Amino acid sequence: MANHDTHLKREKAKVAMEKQYKGHVIRVTTEKDNSTFPWKPICRILDRGSRELIKQLDWDIGYDTSDQAEKVGLLISKKWIDAGKPNL
């Protein structure tokens, strides 16, 4: 059942935006669940040259819309890069 739930969760995900920032590529995906604030950002930070995944930031706070979640995901990712890429 867990694999089925994971599959369903991924079906609800979409690649919302991809931006370049200070030598990185920030890829923000949003997922929707059945909570009051259903949209949550998932942020993947890649090396711009190799496209290797450097960090994935999962944010547990939900938002009303996918657009709001995208904007927060981009902000979180930029803050992480600007902070010197701390090990969270």
Question: pLDDT class for 15, splitting at 50, 70, 90?
Answer: low
Question: pLDDT class for 2, splitting at 50, 70, 90?
Answer: very low
Is 74 exposed, middle or buried (CB count within 10 Å of its CB: 0-12, 13-18, 19+)? Answer: buried
Helix (H) or strand (E) run with residue 79 in it: helix 66-82
Residue 18 lies in a domain: yes
What is the pLDDT, as a whole number, of residue 13? 58
- Structure tokens, 58: 């999962």
Task: Give the CATH number, domain containing residue 16.
Answer: 3.30.160
Specify the pTM.
0.79
How many separate domains does the chain show?
Answer: 1
In angstroms, the Cα distances linking 30 to 52, 63, 66 are: 20, 10, 6
Range of the domain at 32: 2-82
What is the pLDDT, as a whole number, of residue 41? 95
